[in-house]
Structure 1
Amino acid sequence: MTTEAEARPGRRLGSIIALACLMLVLVGIMVMIIWPRVVQTAVSPIGGPFTLTTQTGEKLSDADLQGKPFAIFFGFTRCPEVCPTTLWETTEALKSLGPDADKLRVLFVSVDPTRDTPEFMARYLQSFDKHITGLTGTEAEIADVGKEYRIYYEKVPTEDGDYTMNHTASIFLMDAQGQFAGTISYGEDMATRLQKLRRLIGTAT
């Protein structure tokens, strides 16, 4: 027959095990509640506040875009292939959208602001759709908006003593609330491009 003294250590061990199990359950619950918030905070969103200068010399900020979706692309006017191709394909897509193109803003942000003055961008963009707005600014302003959109760009010296720019080639799609809605990749087929733009236009208020 087990005495009270003999049973006491067993009960104590059982209590310790039960307490440990309860703590594990509580820790698990806390992880399920807190971890998604930690992940969301750690992964910075694409897009954010900015104020830049248009090709007409006016200031344009993210606040001016509220309520209207927009597509934003980073490049430079002396780009030999990617930028003019992307702008031409975007021009063709806007033509295909017809009157619905008025529900969309398209922004072309220069990553070469030293050479891409508003006046120079105005002449360059005459070859493309009127819905495309050129944006430039100081080196610091472009660096800030580049960080907001998590893009890559760098100046690369050329053999003739000049330079070119390497940069992210995707178009970022932002909904009417200024939230990231997807991308259009360089060289993506026109049918897919139009499908994405029409879906984006559907967010307009």
Structure 2
Amino acid sequence: MESSPQVYVKAPPPPETLGRPFELMDHHGQEVTNASYSGKWLLIFFGFAGCREACPTGLVSMGAALDALGGEAGQVQPLFVDVSMEEPDITGLAQFVSNFHPSLVGLIGTRAQTFATVRDFKIRREYAMANYSTKETGPRINHTAYLYLVDPDGVTRAYFDHTLEPERMALTVRLHMKRRRTSP
């Protein structure tokens, strides 16, 4: 009798185990930390400004989810963290994020700051073997394409695939906001 090989599937990490305080620079050149957004929910997407595939898709979904939140969107700060670990290019980052939602803030850091943030959110990122694709404007970086919802206390409450329908994303954000308002 032949036995089939066992397949082990690693469960995704609980959202609460992801993230910690961060120190980065915004696309205006200002040093920021998570405390800079005190009282706000954070909706964070990690990628790189030269991306022409997952990042624009994720950021368009993020913007549509914010629009779907209506008046509640003011309680949410959308952030895009550039994980390329290249020399910070604030001008390129500012230009990239300007293509998406008006409240989107781009963040960039030194190699140490970026690495710490990537590690704390368990972001997978790796340079692809090919130097350039026809869509990117620099090296291709394969990376985790999730949006992370962090509550005003700094606790990650959920994460979404970048292709999730914006209405479902907004519904989940709204649900977490309501839970926080009604919990003792």
TM-score, normalised to structure 2, is: 0.79
Structure with the higher fraction of residues in helix conformation: 1
The alignment's C-alpha RMSD in Å is 2.0
Stretches of structure 1 lacking an aligned partner (at least 5 in a row): 1-43
* 2:81 match: secondary structure: strand
Runs of 4+ deviating beyond 2 Å: 159-163, 199-204
* 1:89 match: secondary structure: helix
* 2:24 match: secondary structure: strand
* 2:56 match: secondary structure: helix
1:150 alignment partner, one of 119, 122, 131: 122
Is structure 2 residue 1 aligned with structure 1 residue 64?
Answer: no
Note closer, same or farther for the CA distance 1:155–1:95 as it changes in structure 2 (3 Å cut): same
C-alpha separation between the residues in 2 aligned to 1:107 and 1:135? 7
Q: Would the aligned equivalents of 2:39 and 2:152 in 1 still touch at CA under 8 Å?
A: yes
1:123 alignment counterpart: 95
The percent identity for this pair of structures is: 28
Query: How many Å apart are 1:115 and its aligned residue?
Result: 5.9
Q: Would the aligned equivalents of 1:76 and 1:116 in 2 still touch at CA under 8 Å?
A: no
Q: Which amino acid aligns with 2:93?
A: M
Q: Which amino acid aligns with 2:118?
A: G
For these two proteins, the number of residue pairs brought into alignment is 161
Query: How many Å apart are 1:116 and its aligned residue?
Result: 5.4
* 1:163 match: secondary structure: coil
Query: How many Å apart are 1:114 and its aligned residue?
Result: 1.8
* 1:112 match: secondary structure: coil
Greater CA radius of gyration, 1 or 2?
Answer: 1
2:154 alignment partner, one of 170, 178, 187: 178
Q: Deviation per CA, 1:115-137: give whole Å up to 9, x if none.
A: 65111111111111122110001
2:54 alignment counterpart: 82
Q: Would the aligned equivalents of 1:69 and 1:200 in 2 still touch at CA under 8 Å?
A: no
2:26 alignment counterpart: 54
Structure-to-structure mapping, 1:21-36, within 5 angstroms: none
Greater RCO between the two (CA within 8 Å, min separation 6)? 2
